[in-house]
Amino acid sequence: MIWVGHRRREWGRNVVLKSTTAVGHGMSNDSEAEDANGTTGEQAAGADAGTERAAEETDASGGDETEKGGLQEGAFVELDYTARTVEGGDLVDTTDPEVADEEGVDADREFAPRTIVLGEGHIFEPVEEALVGHEVGDTGSAVVEAGQAFGEYDEEEVRTVSKDKIPEDDRYPGAQVRIDGEEGFVETVIGGRARVDFNHPLAGEDIEYEYEIVGEITDRQAKAESLLETLLDLQLNVHFETDTVEEERPVESDADDEADEEAPEGVEADADGEDDEPAFETVEVEKESLYIEATQELTMNQQWMFQKQSIAQDLIDYLGVDRVVVQEIIEGMGGMGMPGMMGGMGGMGGGEEDIEAALEDADIDADELAEELGEQ
């Protein structure tokens, strides 16, 4: 069985701080200071010259510790990988269609390189750390220990419950059940009790990733499309626009400013001696927007339904836009009526001649029909 879906984590940005430490030597008295100055002047001069040479060598080699090559945090990386348990070699996840076919994984899934944003917890931390500094085309492997993957195995998570909490069809060893909001697997059913293991199926397993860095995405639209596909498993149409929108902003009057200046320290003053409601003004501002074309698949996507706000905020942060607009487009019917509705027999309100022609085709006498309707 393939287990897909990594735990999402938020990781802070790493900041490299450089500091220069100065060491000072205190003198106990003036004579010692004079002796020190007399005996160490040449040494100090030599030390200064050595420091200058070291600085020149550092500059020549471009030795700024904060400058790093290769992929860094925030990069949009296309990654091909296969993850297996270290102990048994069982498949955990893969983006390789050949591996999926060999393992008999659901063919309905699309297997292709996955887009991740380095440093944003889209994949386990040890894998991210292995990718930082590498280039497109590099391959490698990384082991994620159980504690950083799906957790250590906890014996206390194997609990005894009433079998009445388990549907009759699921009262057998190995059945996956949901009890009181927790997912678990039935171990045994004896009498009126059942033992259920609520550990993750991969708890206690170290996971090894073998990966290839397929590419780096730099185009903003491609970033948006690939990220949405990774998060929602949907291919959606997106575009960027700069919109002029109206905003309500508070207004500070000159009278308020003067009153604040004249008020004693620590006392808030009001120009009229009363607490006035804040005034607002409508201003026009430009906002860069990411437009996402809504589809039926998006509307019904559970991930989107439950995490819409979080996903939109991620897009705003990663792409540097001001807002996300989900736009529903309804296409016209092209003049085609629906059967059983007005217009289904040749147009809306086809006129008296059209009705008579239709009655004639159906072999119905219009006068007789009118008389019958009049009698009713």
Residue 328, pLDDT score: 86
Residue 203 CB burial class (10 angstroms; 0-12, 13-18, ≥19) = middle
The tokens for 302 are: 């559970």
Question: Picking from 61-75, 119-133, 296-310, 344-358, which range would have the lowest pLDDT averaged per residue?
Answer: 344-358
Q: Say if residue 218's pLDDT is above 90.
A: yes
Q: Which pLDDT score, from 0 to 100, does residue 108 have?
A: 75
Per this entry, what is the length of the chain? 376
- 84 within 8 A of 100, measured Cβ to Cβ: no
Domain boundaries, given as residue ranges, for the chain: 76-149+207-215, 155-197, 219-328
Residue of 248 and 217 predicted with greater confidence: 217
- For position 171, what pLDDT does the model report? 93
Per-residue pLDDT at 326 exceeds 90? yes
Task: Collect all residues with Cβ–Cβ distance below 8 Å to 191 and sequence separation of at least 6.
Answer: 163
CATH value of 155-197 in 2.60.120, 2.60.40, 1.10.760, 2.40.10: 2.40.10
Q: Check residue 357 and give its pLDDT.
A: 64
**What does the pLDDT look like over 16-57, one tens digit per residue?**
222 223 333 333 444 444 444 444 444 444 445 554 544 454
Q: What is the pLDDT of residue 172?
A: 94
In the predicted model, is pLDDT for residue 196 greater than 60?
yes
* Mean pLDDT, the chain, whole residue set: 77
List, for residues 139-158, the tens digit of each pLDDT value: 999 999 999 999 999 999 99
Average pLDDT on 112-135 reads 93
For 211, other C-beta atoms within 10 Å of its C-beta total 22
pLDDT digits (tens, 9 = 90+) for 169-184: 999 999 999 999 999 9
Q: Which residue has the tokens 């009363």?
A: 274
Residue 49's alpha-carbon distances to 5, 43, 52, 78, 303, in angstroms, are 58, 10, 5, 49, 64
Q: Give the helix ranges, DSSP H, for the chain.
A: 30-60, 97-103, 125-131, 220-232, 254-262, 296-300, 302-319, 352-361, 366-375
In contact, 143 and 206? CB cutoff 8 Å = yes
Long-range contacts for 2-6 (Cβ within 8 Å, ≥24 apart)?
A: 2/91, 2/92, 2/93, 2/94, 2/100, 2/103, 2/105, 2/106, 3/92, 3/93, 3/201, 3/202, 4/93, 6/121, 6/122, 6/123, 6/124
Q: How far is CA 265 from CA 35, 221, 260, 273, 349, in A?
A: 57, 53, 9, 17, 79
pLDDT at 90: 94
Residue 248 has pLDDT above 60, yes or no: yes
Q: Which has the closest alpha carbon to 198: 154, 246, 231?
A: 154
CB–CB of 11/119 below 8 Å? yes
178 vs 12, residue with greater confidence: 178
Tell me, what's the pLDDT at 252? 76
Per DSSP, the residues of 286-336 read EEEEEEEEE-HHHHH-HHHHHHHHHHHHHHHHHHT-SEEEEEE-----TTP
* Burial of residue 63, with CB atoms counted within 10 A of its CB: 0-12 exposed, 13-18 middle, 19 or more buried: exposed
The whole-number pLDDT of residue 40 equals 45
Task: Report the percentage of the chain scoring pLDDT > 90.
Answer: 49
Question: What pLDDT was estimated at residue 126?
Answer: 96
Domain 76-149+207-215 bears CATH identifier 3.40.50.12780: no
Q: Which two tokens stand for residue 291?
A: 């437009």
Give the percent of the chain with pLDDT over 70: 64
Here the tokens at position 292 are 């996402």
Asked if the model's pLDDT at residue 372 lies above 70, the reply is no
pTM for the model: 0.61
Q: Point out the least confidently predicted range of 75-79, 129-133, 263-267, 324-328.
A: 263-267
- Mean pLDDT calculated for residue range 64-74: 74
User: Whole-angstrom Cα distance, residue 179 to residue 376?
Assistant: 64
Q: pLDDT value at position 280?
A: 85
